[in-house]
Structure 1
Amino acid sequence: MQLPWSRSVDSAPDPTPEELIRRVALGDEAAFETLYDAVAPTIFGLVRRVVRDEAQSEEVTQEVFVEIWQQAARFDADRGKALSWILVIAHRRAVDRVRASQASADRDLRQGIKEYRDSYDDVAETVELRLESERVAKALESLTETQREAITLAYYGGHTHREVATMLDVPVGTVKTRIRDGMIRLRDKLGVA
């Protein structure tokens, strides 16, 4: 018969978090499971208060336990309690996640602004080029037919003076004169210095 105040041989006291950490440092998976069951709700609660997002809080809690498993040998009982050590790890991981999320959001915002500016600049540049093209086309209308033809072939067609002369069946000197005179008229018409 067992008396209510007596303890059976099988019922050893629950191990302390410090003892569990010591055993985890030696690779004891059963101790790790016991530690997990004992502190997971506390860790998750702390992380959830910092991170706020439930899914990310679960991820951070898992990361904390991975770190505990990997770093258990670094725990020093002379410097504090095991639960405090674990909560410091959890808090640091949670803050790191918040900072990383904020940095990611900031990067996304900066990239979005940059892409918006780039597309805005492209539109502005396109409009500016179109207006300038219209100005040049209007100025080209003020040239003589022979000047306009020579300039169009040389500058828009990409032909050399010799090729333009061949195409128009005129001497190269005549082509150069038409282009020079036409360019002077365009410069005056467009107000280019």
Structure 2
Amino acid sequence: MPISPRRPQRFPQCYRSTHDRVFGPALRVPRRDTAAAEITQEVYLYVWNAATHYDERLASPIGWPMMRTHRRAVDRVRLELRIREGLKRLRTCLAGSMNDA
């Protein structure tokens, strides 16, 4: 069932019929409900806005949002790791300069 901003009445049924299949992969990667909910919301927003670009030759109707979910979840975890590493380096740097003072 195609969805697009031109057919808003189709979104609730699409969401109900696909939510579990989109939320599951979103939860498996970051393993936190809040992150999974945010990822799921971002994926549905993307699918809604990009519905006219969907190509059935590249993915099934459920495969497309599931693929987007996995990619978005992996990107989210990578970003969080980079942030943690940056904070760790900053703390180390600040601790070193405090010791020098």
The sequence identity of aligned pairs, in percent, is 27
| Separation of aligned partners in 2, 1:119 and 1:99 | 30
Deviations 1:85-116 (A, max 9, x none): 11110101101110111111111111111111
Q: Which residue of 2 aligns with 1:113?
A: 92
Larger-gyration structure (1/2): 1
Q: List 4+ stretches of structure 1 deviating above 2 A.
A: none
Shift of 1:26: 5.3
2:26 and 2:73 in contact (8 A); partners too: yes
RMSD (Å) for aligned C-alpha atoms: 1.2
Q: Which residue of 1 aligns with 2:24?
A: 45
- In the superposition, the TM-score normalised over structure 1's length comes to 0.50
Of 21, 24, 32 in structure 1, the residue corresponding to residue 11 of structure 2 is: 32
SS at 1:78 equivalent: coil
Q: Which has the higher contact order (CA 8 A, sep 6+)?
A: 2
SS at 1:90 equivalent: helix
Aligned residues: 101
Shift of 1:120: 1.1
| Separation of aligned partners in 2, 1:39 and 1:77 | 17
- In the superposition, the TM-score normalised over structure 2's length comes to 0.93
Deviations 1:123-169 (A, max 9, x none): xxxxxxxxxxxxxxxxxxxxxxxxxxxxxxxxxxxxxxxxxxxxxxx
Q: 1:77 to 1:26 in 2, by over 3 A?
A: farther
SS at 2:62 equivalent: helix
